[in-house]
Chains A and B, each alone.
Chain A
Amino acid sequence: DTGVSQDPRHKITKRGQNVTFRCDPISEHNRLYWYRQTLGQGPEFLTYFQNEAQLEKSRLLSDRFSAERPKGSFSTLEIQRTEQGDSAMYLCASSLDRVIVYEQYFGPGTRLTVT
């Protein structure tokens, strides 16, 4: 039984470059979430997928950000033209669509540093 995995774990990039992160959820989980966590803060919601459909997007997700989950399994988060303010931990979580409890299981995160 494997948990949520994310790749890469660390990414250093120069301002203006594009980066892409991957998330592999727990296999039977149909819901997938992306969060961003800056230093000393709690995670903030970015976007959510149910199967392959992207159903919610936060206002934090500017037009430089795009997320996909093409076959309802793994997901990618791309940031174009990175800025220093994009430096953060990007967390992916997944959950199972149950009636009452929606606990989310998180991956180890991708730490992005924009220089």
Chain B
Amino acid sequence: KQEVTQIPAALSVPEGENLVLNCSFTDSAIYNLQWFRQDPGKGLTSLLLIQSSQREQTSGRLNASLDKSSGRSTLYIAASQPGDSATYLCAVPGSSNTGKLIFGQGTTLQVKP
């Protein structure tokens, strides 16, 4: 059974810092891994999708890497800003063809001005 874990659960950093969020999964047979952002009480915004054949994806100040063999992904945020404060979730497809995503519990990030 696939399980997804995110560490740390919460993170507080001063503005301008580079930071890394971690995501691990137990079954390496994944099609892809998706990172989302969720603002309090709001919807999920897709940030990056890494296919299983890729090692990393970049979008602006965000860079996500994927190491299937070790069951890990990292989301790197460069030069953090207060507007980056949110909960970041990683998710992988479930083992059956249900369209289901299995989510981690998320990392809540606070960037202080």
A and B form one complex: no
